[in-house]
Structures are given as C-alpha cells and as structure tokens.
Amino acid sequence: MKPDLLIATNGFSGTWHSIEYGAWLASVLDKRVMLLGVTEHPNPAAIDDHHPLEDVFARAVELFQQKGVNYSLEVQNGDAEQVIPRRAKLGDYIVVLSPLGRPQIRRMLAGRSIRHLMEEIEQPILYVPQSRLPLKKILVCLGGLGYEVTAEHIAMQLAMKSRAEITLLHIVPPIDLDYPTAKTVGANWQHLTDTDTPIGRSLRQALEIARDDGLTANVTARQGNVVEEILAEERDGNYDLICMGSPYSSNALRQLYTTNVTAEIAEGVSCPVLTARFKRE
C-alpha cells in the first residue's frame, strides 16, 4: 500500500480521534504523516496571540514522536471543507478525518461535512468518529461488482498487520427485476459463496485471499435495506472498522453504495469507516 497519511484538524476537540488513529495507523504501516491544520476565520488583529492549533499540534507531535512516526506540519487558512480536498489533491494520501464540530444549524442548512468531503476527495478516506483500538474485527462490505477492491485491499493490509478478524458482508436488497442472476441471488442469499454469480465469485475470491494470507475470515449475508442491514450488522458484530466501496467508483455502483448510503453509514456508526474509490489499473 503506497499512500502516506493526510490527517486534518480545525482545532475542534473531536478531531483528536483522527490524530490518534492516524498515528497508530502510520506506525503500523510505516507511513509518513502530513498533519494539516486549518485555521478558519483567522483574525488579522490577533496575529501575535496564541494560535488555536498550537495546543493540538503540540499534543500531536508528542504522540507522533512516541510512535516513531515521520511527520510534517502545515497550516492553511479557510473553510476546512474547501482546504482539505484541495490539499489532498497534491499527494497520494489516505485522508484521515473526524467530525469538524459544526453547529447544528449549519448541519441542517448545508448538510454534514463528511458528505461534501466524500464528494470532493478522490483518495481513500478514513473517517474516525471515535478511535477504536486495538483493531480486532473488520467488516468489509462487498457489492459484488468489483468496485470495492481498493477498500478491500487496504482492509487486508490492516488485518495482516494487526491480525484482525475479517467479515465479508453482502446485502441482498429487495429485488423486483425478473432476470436469472437476481433470482439466483434472491433464492440463495444465505449461501452466496456456493453460487456461480458475480457476488458469489467475488466473495469466494476475497475469502481465499484472506485465508491465503493467514487471516481469520468469514462470510455473512443479509437481506433487506442496505443502510439498515449494514448498521444492524455493525451493532450485532461490534466491529472496530468498516470498509466499503466509494459512492463515486462507477455509475453501476450507485445502485448499492450511493452517496447517501456511504455517508449514512459514516454518520450512523461510532466506529471508523474506510471508504475508497475504485481505480482501474
């Protein structure tokens, strides 16, 4: 896995989760960290005053040094929703984010920041509402179209480094279309790995890769509304990380992982969520 980490903070206390998780991730994968501080609404008259990011940076530097992480620091002015995507485009990163602490009225009028950031950032995003460590259980959501492979590969890397258990999840949504593959999936959703369908082949391949790497892996399937079933699986399984394909991978992927689905999962769970766009080699 090539990318380094871009961790962003606007000084809000909740962004410490991304710094803490990012420091752990960088130490495990031996990656460099760029810590991006965003100063929103700077006051020119207060240029000599204590910078609001100084305490966060001091605490982060201490943590990076404890973890033996190679890091650099950068501060930019502007709205975080604009600055972070612009900075992310300048490198090959996994972008690590946490809630930015927006007021409720702003969330109501403009929507949650994570939705906008998912639209604008092309690189993999690791959204950390809470830092769940150590990493013991990973849930990988497979749509059966192959567009989740980028997220799946990152999940495998993390599992190998932390010896975490992997669960491969597929949700069978209500199917109204009358064609053979849909009928086969609908009739055999509890044992999809035994079917010669795209999702069956995808699940078998992912399971084989995980087990060849010496990982503990299993397959589970649910039937129903995609968002509701993923959230239910997360609650039942008490996972430490969820990995899923990006809503912007392909038009075909939108039928399962639309913008709302991915964002609603990120907003609806307390564990970190990794989402990555599919990149065709």
Q: How crowded is residue 257: how many other Cβ atoms within 10 Å of its Cβ?
A: 26
Cβ 82 vs Cβ 223: under 8 Å? no
Q: Report pLDDT for 59.
A: 96
The pLDDT tens digits of the residues spanning 180-219 come to 666 676 676 677 777 777 788 888 888 888 888 889 999 9
Tokens 């490198």, located at residue: 91
In the sheet that 4-9 helps form, which strands lie side by side, from edge to edge?
71-77, 33-39, 4-9, 93-97, 125-127, 273-276, 241-245, 137-141, 165-172, 217-223
Q: What DSSP state is assigned to residue 190?
A: G
Query: Domains in the chain and their CATH numbers?
Result: 4-127 (3.40.50.620), 137-276 (3.40.50.620)
Alpha-carbon distance of 54 to 60, in angstroms, equals 10
Closest C-alpha among 151, 42, 38 to residue 100: 38
Provide the residue type at 204 as one letter. R
- List the chain residues with pLDDT less than 50: 1, 249-259, 281
Backbone torsions φ then ψ of 269, nearest 5 degrees: -120, 160
| Contact present, 31 and 119 (Cβ < 8 Å) | no
Quote the pLDDT of residue 79. 94
Measured between alpha carbons, how far is 191 from 170 in angstroms, rounded to an integer? 11
Q: What pLDDT, on a 0 to 100 scale, did the predictor assign at position 115?
A: 87
Which pLDDT does position 99 carry in this prediction?
94
pLDDT at 150: 80
pLDDT at 259: 47
